[in-house]
Every structure is written in C-alpha cells, then in structure tokens.
Chain A
Amino acid sequence: MPNAIYIALIPLLPLAGFLLLGLFGRRIFKNNSGVIGTLLMMCATIISLYVAYGYFFEYGKVNGVYQKLIPFKYAWLVFSKDLSIDMGITLDPISVMMLVVVTFISLMVHVFSLAYMKGEERFSTFYAFLSLFTFSMLGLVISSNIFQIYIFWELVGVSSFLLIGYYYDRPSAVAASKKAFIVTRFADLGFLIGILVLSFYSGTLDFNELISRLTAPGSDQLKAAVTSSFMGISAITWGTFLIFIGGAGKSAMFPLHVWLPDAMEGPTPVSALIHAATMVVAGVYLVARLFPVFAMAAPDSLQIVAYVGAVSALLAAVIACTQTDIKRVLAYSTMSQIGYMMFALGVAKYGGENGLGYTASMFHLFTHAMFKALLFLCAGAVIHFVHSNEMADMGGLRKKLPVTHIAFLIACLSIAGIPPFSGFFSKEEILLAAWQQNRTIYWIGLITSGMTAFYMFRLYFSIFWNRDFNDHHSAHNHHGEGGGLITIPLIILAIGSIVSGFIPFGNFVSSDGSRLATGFHASFSIMPVSIGVIGILIAGWLYKKQSDKPDKISSSLNGLYKTAYHKFYIDEIYLFITKKILFNLVGRPAAWFDRNVVDGLVNFTGNTTQVISEKIKGIQSGKVQQYAIYFLIGAIGLAALIIYW
C-alpha cells in the first residue's frame, strides 16, 4: 500500500501554488510567479510518475488483477451512518493514468506559458488560476466518493470560467466564459439529480460501495433501483442517464457542446490544457468511473452514451471542415475525438474481450491528450507569430517556424490515424470495438475518421503551405519561434505523440482490471488507414497551393456548407430559448408580477388603510355636541333593539 501523504501532495502542491500566487503573486512574486508555479508542478509530475510506476509495476496488481486502492479517506460531511461525503484518494488504473496525463500536460503548458504569457499584466494571476485548475482536476481524478467528484467537477468548471475570462476586458471573452459556465452548470444539474437518485437507491455515496451494491445481482439496492420507475423508465437508468448529462456537458457532447468553441477566447495554453487534454475528457472519465453500473445495470443508458458520442463525433467533424479560425477547428476536432471516446465506452461491455471499447477509450484519451495538447500549443506558437487566429492570415509558415511545423505535422498524422503515430493505435482499437459490437457506429466512426484526416490537413496545409507568408502586416514581429521555452514542450509532446501509441494499454487498463490482450490487426486497419490517406490527399489537392478550388466546392455545396459553417444553427436555437423564452416569458413576467401583483397587494392594503382612516378620522372631532348626538343615537338605537327584539 502506498503512502497517502505523498499521493495527497500531487493535488496539494498545485493548491499551494494557487494560494501562494493568488495571495502574494501580484505584490511579491511578480514575474517569478511563473517559475514558482512551474517548479511546484514539476514536483507534482515527478511524484505522480513515481506513483504510476509503483502502482502499475509494484503494488497495484494482486493475482493478475489491478486493485482499487483507497489509501486515504476522511468523512468530510456526514449525513447519516451510511451517507457521507468523503474526501479520499482512489488509485486504480484509470485514476493513475489520469494523474500522469494531467500533471504531465499541465507541466508542459506551465513551461510553454512562461514564454507565451510573458509580459502579461496579470501574469501571476494566470499562473494562480492554472494551478487552481490543476488542483481541481487532480482532485477530480482521485475522487473516491461521487459527491467528491462533483465538488471538484464544479471547481474545474470555475477554473475554466476564470481562465476563459482571463482577458476580462474583452466582451467576447466575458460572454464566452459565462456561456461555458452556464451550459456546464445546466448539465451539472443533471449530474446532481443523478447523484441524488443513485445515492438514494444505493444508500451510499462511496464509489466502491455504490458500484458493488448496484452491480451485485440480486442485491436489495439493485432490485429497488430496477423495479421503481418514473415515466416507465427504471430509476437506475434515470440515475445513470442524468449523470451522463453532467458528463456530456463537461465533455462538450451534442447538444451541450456549444460552449467549447467559444471557450477558445481563453489564452491558447489554457485551451491546450483545459479544453483539449484534460477537463473536457472529465465526462468520459466519469462514465468510465461508473462503467460497471452503466454496463451491468443500465445498458439503455450506455446505448445513449454510444449514440451521443457517435453523433457528436460526426457532427463536429462536419463543422470542423468549414471553420476558418484555427482554434475553432481544433475545438471541433476535440469534440469529435471525445465523441470517439464516448462511443467506445458506449459499445463496451463489462469484462473480458467485450470490454475492448473501455480499454480503447482510455487509450484514446491518453494519446489524444498528447497530440491535441501539441496541436494547441503549436497553434499558440503560430498565433503568437502572426497575431491572428484566421487561416486567411497564415500560409507558408513552414520556413518561419520549422520546429512548430514538424511538431504540428506529427500531431496531424497522429490524429488522422496514420501508422505508426499514436492516434492510429488508439483509433484502430476504438473502431475494432465498434465493429465487434455495433456496425452503425462503426461506419459513423469510419466516415468521421476520413473527415478528421481531411480537416486536419486542410489546417496543416493552410497554415504551413498554401501561399508565401507576407511579412508586412507583422513587421514588428522579429521574435521568430520564441526560444526553448516554446519549442521544448513542443518537442517533448511530439515525442509523446509518437511513442505513446506503442504502450500495450490493455495490459494496464481494462474494464475489470485483468489483462486484456490487444493485438494488431493488419487486415482490419487497411480500410481506416486508406480512408485517412484519401482525406489527406484531398486536403493536399485543395489547400497545398493557393487556388479557387475550395471556394468552388463550398459554393457547389451551398446549403450544406452554409449550415455547417453556421454550426447547424444550434447556437441560435439556444439563444432563442434563453433570450426569448427564459428571459422574456419567465424572468420578465416574474419580476413584473412581483412588483405589480404581490407588492401591489401590499401597497393596496397600506393605501386602503390610509384612505379609510382619512374618511373616518372626522368622527373623532373633539366637538362635545357631536359626541352627544352620537351618544343619543346610540342610546336610542340600543333601546330600540332591546325593546323590539
């Protein structure tokens, strides 16, 4: 059993960084803030690599099965004997893998930002937020309690909000940060209610207990959760589905993906860390964490996961083909790749060979983190150089930015699934899993993979080839590629993008913890690879040299192109629902009703009292004669009453 203290250090070091830089960064550390944050991050990375080594090769495996270890647990908020929110540490294959991914990518981004964010006014704040995010994300992956994961889930969301809105004086950044937070909050509502449902039926919030109670055949909890139903759907399906909504929001799955492209308003290193490699895969991680429940007790929910993933993958790929802002292309490609991970989980089953999708999904998560972070950091280097996000302002940069060019090319080949780059291996595994379980999804995945190759190389050729780069509108630009702090992370990630594919992932991560043999199937790979190559060739034919071919094609596909370019008008639909319905049909009437009806009644009561007292105050005039008359009338009246009653 590992020592809990140094595992706890992995998230606590970034937390210390956040507190130090947040409280004293502006006054005391100033430009040293970046170095402090980076050094703390480096320590956390080393520890997590050490933990990963220990877990996978020393103490994690018992009788050939990787165990779930809980080296630390503290009852944070106790509701009853069974129900409590615990703060704990879970070590299992996926959490350990995520620890490595998060700390490693975060470290690369920390280093890259030293140069990229240099001279920013709020440099120390940037590093404070970056540390806060890393802390939250690490807390999320090691959670041992479903409420703990929700807590860190929210914290991750707020760090994302703060970093998207880092340039707080830009209205577009403010709007994007708000949108990201609110859309994911809406999804988290599902997550929260899902937690309530599952905890009610399982009687616990602890992941281990919850999973074992809801998967043990014949357990009272499972029986109750399966038999009680609402609107004809069993409680457990509701619970898992609602939790998946939370995951879909964070992971930008259709139709909750609208915040992700806008989130590109944040600084590019942030996009690389949060909106490509780590936070957006939290939804996949959540489904994987609860996978036994999904697979054994709620197969219907898992079907939904599969189709939502597949539709997101395809839809995002179509949109990505039409976008011109390079960060947005990458954002849609992220959404598309996460769609792959989701449907891989969706087609998987628990245990043995049928669990291939689970392994494949985690494998793709791992390789994707490498090449997508690399793509974003390269994009950052490009944007830094040309001071624009638009493809139209780029072209011919391969000579100006040689390292970036090679790194970007490696990442593109990887995401396009060309052997022997890492994306090839993980994507093959996903497609194989889909082929074995669900052919519809396999074909969607295959088509998407061809489009992926096309739009990535459209990006590649437009940035680095197409036409010669004219220097005039960036005459002040003499810094070239920007030195070692920029290029070293790119080189490291490029190496990662190549070698990470050769990791025998099935040895380490599988749905039930035991070893899963994943072979290389040459005959199966022919189709996906050749489709990828075709995509690349088309992109090269269209974009390698400047020509009017792309415009001709887009105008011949007029309607479809336009719809895709406008992202299928999903944003407009949301805008209609929020602005027109929520604000005008709910908020405004509520406010009006309150001021005019509820408060109107109060004022009416007050005014009526005043009016009546105004009317009757004349009775108490102080004139004795008047009082005598009232007295007389009263006496006569009483007398009459008594006499004639």
Chain B
Amino acid sequence: MNLSVLLLVPTLTAIAILLARNANQSRWIAFAGSAIQFGLAFALLYAFSHERTNGNYEQMLFVQQYNWFPAWNISYHIGVDGIAVAMILLTAFIVIAGVLVSWNVIYRTKEFYFLLILLSAGAYGFFLSLDLFILFFFLEVAVIPKYLLIGIWGSGKKEYSANKLALMLMGGSALVLVGLLGMYFSSGHEKTFDVLRLAQLHIPIDVQRIFFPLLFIGFGVFTALFPFHTWVPDGHSSAPTAGSMFLAGISMKLGSYGCLRVATWLMPDAAKEYAPIVILLSAIAILYGAFATMMQKDLKYINAYSSVSHCGFILLGIGMLTKTAITGAVMQMVSHGLMTALFFAVIGMIYERTHTRNVSEMGGLMKVMPFISTIFFIAGFCSLGLPGFSGFVAEMTIFMGSWQNTGLFYRVATVAACMSIVVTAVYILRAIGQTVMGPIKNQDYLQLKDAKWNEKLAAIILILGIIAIGVAPFWLNDLVRPGAEIIMQRIVK
C-alpha cells in the first residue's frame, strides 16, 4: 500500500474545500474526503495485517524514502508499524465524526472545514513520519489550525484560551525542536534525522540525559503532562465541538505518540533513568485530575479534567517500561481518543440544545432526548472503565503491565492509579445523575429535539469503534504488541 495516499487525500480534500462554491458543498466535500480517509485507514489495517500474517516482520512496513534536503540529510521518509496503524485508525475515526458533528456550523463553513481537514493531514503526516524533521513539520501543521479554530469558532473567553493553548503548545514544540536538533547533532559524523537510523545508534548517555527531558516535556505538554496541563480545560471549554474532539482525540495523542516513538524509543537509557519521575508525575495527574474533575460543574471542564486523568494512564504506561504497560498505553491512546471524542460530541449536542453546559441547570434529559442521553451513558461508562468498552481493556492492560515492576514505589503508583477507578465512577455518575437522570428542572427542555442524522451517525461510528475494542480487544493487542516489543528491545539492552 502506498502510504502517501494517506497524505494526498486530506490535502486534496482541503484544496477542494477551498474551491467549493458554497457552504453545503464544502460540507459534503469534507464528508466525502473523510469517508475516503476512513476507508483508507481500514485498507491500511487490512494490508498491514495481511503482510504480518504472511511473515513480513520488518519493523516498519510500506516504507517510502525520497531525499528532500540532502545537504542536511533530511528526507521524506514514511512507514508504519502496528502502533502507527492504530493511531491512523483513531485519527480516521475522529475526523469523520468531527466532520459530521460540525454539520451545523454556519459561520465561515468553508474555512472551518478547511482547517479541520488540514489538521487531520498534519496528524496523518505525524504518525507516518520516520524522519524527525518532517515529523516536526507535521506537528506544527497540526497545531496552528487549533489556534484559529478556537479563536474564530470558539465560545466563552476564546481569545484567552486560544492564546494560552497556542503558546503552551508552541512552547512544547520549541522544546521538542531543541531535543530533535540535539539528537541530530549527536548522531555521529553522518548526522541524521532518520528515526530508523537513530534507533540503531547509541546516543551517549550524557547527551540523552539532557535531551530526553526536553523531548518528553515538550511532547508531554501536548498530552497534559502534569503540571503542564492547564491549557487542557480552557482550550477544550472554548473550542467548538469538533475542535474539542480533535484536540482531545488527536492532538493530545500526537504528544503521547511522540513521547513513546521519539523520546522513549530513541533515548532508551535516559528513559530508564527518568522513569520514576515520569511515573510520579503521571500518577499525580491521574489522581489529582480525577479529584479536580469531581468539583467541576461545566460538562466540558469535567471531560477536560478527566482527560488529564486518563492521559495520565498513557504516560504511566510509557513510564512503567514493560511490554504490557506500553501496549496498554497505546490502547489507552486509541481508547481515550474515541471515548473523549464521543463525550465532547455529546456535550456539544446537549449544549446546542440547552445552551448551557452547567450540570446543575440540567436534569431529566433522558425523557426528552433518549438517544443523546444513551450516548451520554455510553461515553460515561466507557470513561469509568466498564468492561465491554475500550477504556476497561486499556486500563487493565496498563495495570497488569505496571504490576510486573516490583518495588514499593511502582506498586504504590499502580495502586494510586487503580484508585482513580473509584473517583472516576464518582464524577461520571454525578454528571450522569445530574444531566440525563433526575426530574426535568427547566420546562423549556420539554420542547427539545433528539439527535439528527449526522449526530447519530457520528456517535454510532465512535461507539462502534469503542465496542470493537472493548468486546474484542485481541485484534488491537495483536496489532500493537509487536510495536511495543521493538521499543522494549532497546530498553532491555
């Protein structure tokens, strides 16, 4: 399979949207483009599994490499392993759902869809890249549209949030850039940005000690590493629905993917040394995020803080440095992406109808909007880690992997992470109890309409993804585990 198609399709879609004659056309173009992308992601999954079952155990499959800037040894180098395939699948799910829930955007529709699709192109490029330079390029492509999406189509204190988000993420990117350059210049006399080459080199430990933290924190800002997570609540609450979905579903995963693929894989010795700090910060994020969520009243803040907590699991899995924990971390990336996108989608649906996101003003929505309320239930249950949904599988894999590390510190961190399942249940049930259950507080709500076709379709797509992992996790496990194994080989050495 030619991976460049995955970049070409969103690029062409974005151009076509710009050429569209009216808003409606741009909608359908975006939908068609994301549907093709969705199909391509499944084609990739199929082609990848086909190659693997036929005994092709290359680290990266479908590799393409063209010299781009020979003087600096930069090349257009792309390829995928199981982890990247999982992330591309996730992106495809979020993009199509995001396009669908944005159907009602009327202000500057064309530009809105253009930015959404541009962002997805950046994300695909990021997950495909095997060259750190183009990886960084795509990272930036995925960040800048965020600023505009929030600044123009946002709500509330949107300028503040857009600035905060852009500045913090840019700060993260700056650290990443320094880290990447550091690796470039310490990669021997024949300097290289090539991930596969770097993965064979042994960067001196002193160099790793300096650049690992830069890269990990830089990428960590994206994935809500404590204490660099405060853009998350403000950014999400001001973003338009699809913006929040992309932000939590894709952007935060760029960070965790970077932490794993770039920081941990390429600098395994420092990863081992700094692991206790990573574990400490992520255990704090998990519990602290969960407790902070308990006190929130705004639905978007609830989900944003819970994202801090849930993304803590990803970093915890990465920090634990066992095969199972890393597999779990990747599963959690996919699971959290789908689940949180679903959550933001349903919050958007509720907000569009009730014009409030304050839980204490709602109540009894089940009576008037059974479909939307059912989605809310499902998103909530997935979030609190109910078996049958993806969150359970990912969390349990992380717990099992973490417990393999003996030593009191690791055990305490794991138990602390486990404790969050209770706190999560508290805040999720509180949100469910106050919004969809209980008596109707506002009589105007009796007129509200249930979900429309586009909203239903978006929700069903995401729910099917969640259930496909929750009920049959073996396919994702088989996909991701070999990738985790490759990373672990460097760690164990």
Contact = CB atoms under 8 A, between A and B. Distances in A.
A158 B386 contact: yes
B474 A75 contact: yes
A594 B231 CA distance: 11
B86 interface: no
Contact of A200 (B163, B397, B404): B404
A77 B437 contact: no
28 contacts: A26-B370, A77-B397, A77-B473, A79-B401, A80-B323, A85-B396, A151-B387, A154-B386, A158-B381, A168-B437, A169-B440, A175-B433, A182-B422, A189-B419, A189-B421, A189-B422, A192-B399, A199-B400, A200-B404, A587-B292, A587-B295, A588-B295, A590-B291, A591-B292, A594-B288, A606-B163, A606-B164, A606-B167
B294 A185 contact: no
A165 B437 contact: yes
B187 interface: no
B193 interface: no
B39 interface: no
B388 interface: yes
A168 B366 CA distance: 8
B212 interface: no
Given A83-B400, A587-B294, 8 more contacts: A155-B386, A188-B421, A189-B418, A189-B419, A192-B399, A192-B418, A591-B294, A598-B230
A154 B433 contact: no
B367 interface: yes
Interface of A: 26, 75-80, 83, 85, 147, 150-152, 154-155, 158, 161, 165, 168-171, 174-175, 177-178, 181-182, 185-186, 188-189, 192-193, 196, 199-200, 582-583, 586-588, 590-591, 594, 598-599, 601-602, 606
**Majority DSSP secondary structure for residues of A touching B:** helix
A76 B478 CA distance: 11
B422 A185 contact: yes
**Majority DSSP secondary structure for residues of B touching A:** helix
B466 to A, nearest CB: 15
Nearest to B402: A196
Contacts of B244: none
Interface string B259-302: 00000000000000000000000000000100110111000000
B291 A186 contact: no
Given A192-B399, A590-B295, A76 B168 contact: no
Interface stretch (B13-21, B142-150, B423-431): B423-431
A177 B164 CA distance: 40
Interface string B334-353: 00000000000000000000
B141 to A, nearest CB: 25
B474 A77 contact: yes
Interface residues of B, number: 54
B433 A178 contact: yes
B227 A168 contact: no
9 pairs of A and B residues whose beta carbons are closest in the complex? A591-B295, A151-B387, A599-B230, A590-B291, A168-B437, A587-B294, A185-B425, A196-B403, A590-B292
A495 B163 CA distance: 73
B392 to A, nearest CB: 7
B307 interface: no
A169 B367 CA distance: 8
Contacts of A83: 400
Given A77-B473, A598-B227, A602-B230, A169 B439 contact: yes
A155 B231 CA distance: 35
B205 interface: no
B12 interface: no
Interface string B92-110: 0000000000000000000
Given A583-B294, A590-B291, A182 B426 contact: yes
B415 interface: yes
B437 A185 contact: no
Contacts of B234: 599
Nearest to B439: A169
Interface in B24-41: none
A590 B309 CA distance: 13
B393 interface: yes
B393 A77 contact: yes
Nearest to A121: B367
A76 B474 contact: yes
Contacts of B440: 169
B164 to A, nearest CB: 7
Contacts of B168: 602
Given A171-B438, A602-B168, A182 B429 contact: yes
B79 interface: no
A399 B403 CA distance: 63
Given A155-B386, A155-B388, A193 B418 contact: yes
Task: Pick from B323, B419, B422 the residue with the most CB of A within 10 Å.
Answer: B422
B477 interface: yes
Interface string B132-174: 0000000000000000000000000000000110011000000
Nearest to B331: A77
B164 A583 contact: no
